[in-house]
Structure 1
Amino acid sequence: MNNKIVYTPGPTNVRENVRLARGMKTTNPDVDNDFVEFYKKTCEKIGDIIGTQNDVYILSGEGILGLEAACATLTESGDRVLVIDNGIFGRGFEDFVSMYGGEAILFSEDYTKDIDIESLETFLENDSDFKYATIVHCDTPTGVLNDLSKICPLLKKYNILTVVDSVAAMVGEKLEVDKWQVDIALGGSQKAISAPAGLTIVSISEDAQLAFKNRKTKVTGFYCNLGIWENYYQDKWFPYTMPISDIMGLNRAIDNIIEEGIENAINRHKRIATATRNAFVDYGLELFLENGYSSTVTAVKIPESIGALNLIKYAYDVYNTVLSTSLGEYSNSILRVGHMGENARVKDLVGILNTIDMSMVNLGFNRDKSLVDLFNKYYSLYCKEDVENEHYNRIQFQV
C-alpha cells in the first residue's frame, strides 16, 4: 500500500515534516493549558492566511463536519435557506438544510459555468427572504470556482448570512473572509493545506455568532453545534478531547504555507493549473467547464470509447497509480486532476501526466503530442519572471 502513487483531488500528498510533527510526543489536551495556547495560535495563523479577524476553530472531523455543523447551528424549523447550486456539492447543502428543518430554495445554474452574478441579483430582487445562503467556493467534482468577492457582498446587501464551503479551494485560491464579508468559511485539512484528513477549519463572523444566540430553539445535537466553541479559550476547556497529533501536523502544514507565502502558494497553483488545462486541450481532450476554472482541480472529459472508470482502473492495475473520476452522473465521463497543495508540484504532476498519457494511448487514444511535453511548454511560458502574473491571467483556453 505504501508504494502506491496517489494523485487525487484530496486527500493530497503530505510533506514529511508534517508526518513527523504528528509523531511527536503529546500532552493531555483536556487539561494542559499550554495546548490551549498552541491551539489558539494555530487558529490565528489560519485566520491570517484566509484574511479574517473572526474567531477560527479547528474541529475534530473531516470537512463535511463543518458543512453539516454550519447548517445545524443556523437552521431552525421553517427557516428559508438559499442553496446556490452549480455543482454536486453545491446542491448537496439542500440535504443538510432539510435535515435540520429548514426549507431549501435552490438557485440552480449550469454546472459547466461559475455563478452568474447578474442572474443571482435578479433572483434576489424578486426573493431575498432568506436567513442564510450556502455557496461552494470550488465544487470538487467539476472544479468550478465561484467568485466569492462578488457573491457574498451581494448577499450581505440583502442581510443574508453566508456559509461558504472552501474545502477544495482554501490556500489554493485567494480567500479574503473579512473583505468579502463571508460569515462562515469552511475548510479541510486534507486538500490544499496538505495535512492528513480528519480536521475541519471554520471561521465565524460576529453576525453568525449573533444568529446562533438569537435562536428560538436549541441546536439539535452537540457535536455539530458551532456555538459550543464560543468560550473555549476563556474557560480553557474544549467541548471534547482534541486530536492533538492531528492538530500538531496541521500546525506544521500551516507553517509550510506561511514560509512559502500565501500569495506565492496561490500563484504556484495558478501556474500549474493553467499549464495543465492548456496541455490537455492541445493533447486533444475537452475540458468539462466552459468558464470558472479553479486552480486546484481540472476536470477533463474522457472519450466514451475509453471511459473514465476504465482509465483509472488501467492506471491502477498497470502503473500502481490512484486517480479519480468525478461523482454521480459524471463518474464515467470525467477524469479529475487534483493539482492542489503538495500535489501542485511540477515533479509530481509530470509523472502523473505521463501515466495518463500512456494509459490513454494503450487504451486506444490516438494522439501525436506528448502530454508531458505540452505541459512543460505551457508551464515554461507562464513562468517568465516579472510578467508571468499578467500573462497567464490573459490566457484564453481553447475550448
Structure 2
Amino acid sequence: MLRQRRPKVPDVPLLMTPGPTQVRENVRIARAYEMTNPDIDFKFFKFYRKTCLKLAAFMNTESQVLILSGEGMVALDSACASLAEPGDRVLIIDNGIFGEGFADMVKVYGAEPVVFKGERTRGISYENLREFLEKDSDFKFATIVHCDTPSGVLNDLKEICPLLKSYGILTVVDAVSSMVGEPLFTDDWAIDICIGASQKGFSAPPGLAFLSISPDAWAAIEGRKTPIPSYYCNLLLWKNYFEDAWFPYTPPIGDIFAFKIALDNVLKEENALRRHRKIAKAVRKAVIRSGLSLYLRSDYCSTVTAVNVPEGIDGEALIQKMKDEHGILIGGNFGYLKGKVIRIGHMGENARLEYVSETLKALQLTLESEGIFLRADMESVFLEEMVKKR
C-alpha cells in the first residue's frame, strides 16, 4: 500500500494528541482573511448566525447555538454560571477526570454537587443510574461527559439523557472530544446544553467553544432568582444578539472564519463517522495484538485510544522521547493516570491512515529503545485491519 509521509517541518511535531489536532491548509488560510469590524458590520452578524445555524444542523438540533471566544472550558463555565444558583443541587455524573471536574465548576457558583460515581474503565451504567434516581432525583441539572478524553470512555447519551429528562433534570453535556467522531443527536437525546470546541474533531485552531441551548435551558436561565454571577460567561447576554445586532464582546473574527471552513470540510466528507470508527478499531487491534493493553474494558470512543504504559516505563518520558527522536507528539495524561496511560488522538485530521501508521511505528521503536519488545508489529497489524472490508 502506497502511503505519503508528512513533509518534515523543522521544530514542528506531527500532532497526534487528542486535541489540539492538525489543521488543514484551507483552514489556516481562512484564518488570515481580511478583517472587518465585527461589532458594527452587519454582514458579519449574518455570517456568524449562518455559521451557528450550520453548526446546529450538524449537531441535529433546532435549539439556538452560540459560538463563544475561548477554548472549550469557556462553554462549560458559561453553562454552569448561567444555570447554577446558590443552594441548587447538581448531579455530577462521574466516570472520568473531566466528569469529576464539573463538581468544582458548580461549587464556584454556590451550587451543591452530588456525585454519581461510575466505573472508570467503562461507560456509565444506565441501570445503576436509574436505581440511584429512584431514590434521589431532586436536581436542577446534571452534567455528563460524552467522551472523557483522558481515558477515551464513551457514555451512552441516547439512554442516559432521556432518563434524566424523565425526572425533570436538565442535562449539560460535554461533547468536546466526541463530536465528528461519534454520532450526536442533541434533540432526539434530550440534551439541554450540548458543548463542543474548535480544536478537536473539527480540526480548527484552539480558541472557540460553542453550545446549543434548549428552550427548557433558556427558561431555567431566565427564571433564576439571583443574577448570573459573571459577565463574560453570562449566556443571557447572547440570547438576542442577532435581532439587536450587538455582540457582548468582540468576537475573534479570524478564528470564526477558520472554523467555518473546518466545519465545511467535515460536512463535505461522505462519512466522517465511518472513517473514525474504522481507524479506532484498527488502532485497538494493533495495540492488543502487540501485547500492550488498553486502559478501558469497554465503551471505547472512536476519537482517542488510551494505552497502559508498560511496567517500569514513565509515560511522560516516553512521550518526550518519541517527540525528540521521531517528531511525533502523542498525549500524556492527568491526575491518577499521569505517567501511567498514554493517548493516541485519532480525531479530525489526525484520523488518517498515513498519520496513524507513522505514529504506531514510532511508538513501537521508542518502546524498543527502552527495552520493551512487542509480540507483533503495530504498524503492520493496523494496515492489515485498514484494508479489510467492513
Q: 1:368 to 1:85 in 2, by over 3 A?
A: closer
Query: Corresponding residue for 1:393?
Result: none
Equivalent residue runs for 1:200-349 within 5 Å: 200-261=209-270, 264-349=271-356
Partners of 1:177 and 1:122 in 2: how far apart? 25
SS of match in other structure, 1:300 = strand
Partners of 1:3 and 1:313 in 2: how far apart? 14
SS of match in other structure, 1:238 = coil
- Deviating beyond 4 angstroms after TM superposition, the runs of 4 or more aligned structure 1 residues are none
Query: Corresponding residue for 2:20?
Result: 11
TM-score, normalisation: structure 2: 0.96
Equivalent residue runs for 1:48-127 within 5 Å: 48-127=57-136
SS of match in other structure, 1:12 = coil
Query: Corresponding residue for 2:361?
Result: 354
Cα deviation 1:8-34 (Å, max 9, x = unaligned): 010000000000000110211000000
**Considering only aligned residues, what root-mean-square deviation do their CA atoms show, in Å?**
0.9
Give, in angstroms, the shift of residue 69 of structure 1. Answer: 0.8
CA contact 1:8–1:324 (8 Å) conserved in 2 = yes
Give, in angstroms, the shift of residue 320 of structure 1. Answer: 2.6
Partners of 1:270 and 1:282 in 2: how far apart? 18
SS of match in other structure, 1:73 = helix
Partners of 2:374 and 2:69 in 1: how far apart? 47
Give, in angstroms, the shift of residue 309 of structure 1. Answer: 1.5
Cα deviation 1:167-186 (Å, max 9, x = unaligned): 10111111100110100000
Q: Give the aligned length.
A: 381
CA contact 1:306–1:364 (8 Å) conserved in 2 = no
**Residues 210-219 or 325-334, more deviating:** 325-334
Partners of 1:379 and 1:280 in 2: how far apart? 14
Give, in angstroms, the shift of residue 374 of structure 1. Answer: 0.7
SS of match in other structure, 1:324 = coil
SS of match in other structure, 2:121 = coil
Cα deviation 1:108-141 (Å, max 9, x = unaligned): 0110010000000000000000000000000000
Query: Corresponding residue for 1:366?
Result: 373
SS of match in other structure, 2:190 = coil
CA contact 2:196–2:210 (8 Å) conserved in 1 = yes
Over the matched positions of the two proteins, sequence identity in percent amounts to 49
Letter matched to residue 94 of structure 2: D
CA contact 1:285–1:300 (8 Å) conserved in 2 = yes
Partners of 2:262 and 2:375 in 1: how far apart? 40
Letter matched to residue 277 of structure 2: K
CA contact 1:49–1:171 (8 Å) conserved in 2 = no
Structure 1 residue 136 and structure 2 residue 145: aligned?
yes
1:164 to 170, 173, 176: 173
Partners of 1:140 and 1:150 in 2: how far apart? 20
Query: Corresponding residue for 2:3?
Result: none
Partners of 1:149 and 1:308 in 2: how far apart? 34
CA contact 1:9–1:339 (8 Å) conserved in 2 = yes
Cα deviation 1:249-299 (Å, max 9, x = unaligned): 0000000011104xx111110000010001100010110001110000100
SS of match in other structure, 2:35 = coil
CA contact 1:50–1:171 (8 Å) conserved in 2 = no
Partners of 1:270 and 1:374 in 2: how far apart? 16
Query: Corresponding residue for 2:207?
Result: 198
Give, in angstroms, the shift of residue 323 of structure 1. Answer: 1.9
**Residues 324-333 or 35-44, more deviating:** 324-333
Letter matched to residue 218 of structure 2: Q
CA contact 1:189–1:198 (8 Å) conserved in 2 = yes
Letter matched to residue 216 of structure 1: K
Query: Corresponding residue for 1:46?
Result: 55
TM-score, normalisation: structure 1: 0.94
Letter matched to residue 285 of structure 2: N
Query: Corresponding residue for 1:30?
Result: 39
SS of match in other structure, 1:306 = coil
Query: Corresponding residue for 1:396?
Result: none
Letter matched to residue 363 of structure 1: E
Letter matched to residue 261 of structure 2: R
Letter matched to residue 58 of structure 1: I
Give, in angstroms, the shift of residue 377 of structure 1. Answer: 1.3
Cα deviation 1:160-209 (Å, max 9, x = unaligned): 00000001011111110011010000001000010000000110000000
Partners of 1:330 and 1:163 in 2: how far apart? 25
Give, in angstroms, the shift of residue 301 of structure 1. Answer: 0.4
Letter matched to residue 361 of structure 1: E
Partners of 1:375 and 1:178 in 2: how far apart? 36
